[in-house]
């Protein structure tokens, strides 16, 4: 499955979750719900995926976790905040670079219309 089609499916699942819950909950509720919705759509999804990093001979195990990885092709970073800022996009780009993923989605559920809280990023 190509990344464009996959991101469209992830966005559709996120819209379903947002339609059900609306804004105002904590990030973990949206994460669990979106992971379940993606599973219902028969997509392989992994939550809180550790990415083992190393800094000058120091292993940084479990210090870095990616919210969702879908089909081993797309990183999904979730937020439940007032508004997205450039630092959030930079964070996702860093995650993508470190994990060697080409495509990522940044989704903020704390918006009235979910389309206003979605950013698709490509390296």
Examine the pLDDT at 14 and tell me if it is beyond 90: yes
Measured in residues, the chain has a length of 123
Q: In what order do the strands lie in the sheet with 45-50?
A: 45-50, 65-70, 74-79, 103-108, 118-122
| Count of domains observed in the chain | 1
Instruction: Give the DSSP letter of residue 23.
Output: S
Note if the pTM is more than 0.95: no
Give the span between the Cα atoms of 16 and 79, in whole angstroms: 16
Residue 1 pLDDT class (50, 70, 90 cuts): low
CB 64 within 8 A of CB 51: yes
**60 lies in which domain range?**
3-122
pLDDT in tens, 72-116: 999 999 999 999 999 999 999 999 999 999 999 999 999 999 999
Residue 63 has pLDDT above 80, yes or no: no
- pLDDT confidence bin for 59, thresholds 50/70/90: confident
């Amino acid at each position: 499955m190509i990344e464009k089609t996959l991101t469209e499916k992830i966005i559709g699942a996120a819209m379903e979750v947002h339609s059900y819950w609306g804004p105002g909950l904590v990030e973990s509720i949206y994460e669990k719900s979106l992971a379940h919705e993606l599973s219902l759509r028969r997509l392989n999804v992994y939550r809180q995926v550790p990415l083992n990093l190393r800094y000058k001979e120091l292993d940084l195990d479990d210090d870095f976790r990616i919210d969702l990885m879908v089909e081993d092709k797309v990183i999904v970073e979730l937020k439940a905040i007032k508004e997205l800022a450039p630092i959030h996009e930079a964070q996702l780009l860093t995650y993508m670079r470190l994990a060697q993923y080409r495509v990522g989605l940044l989704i903020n559920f704390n918006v009235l219309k979910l389309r206003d809280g979605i950013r698709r990023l490509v390296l």
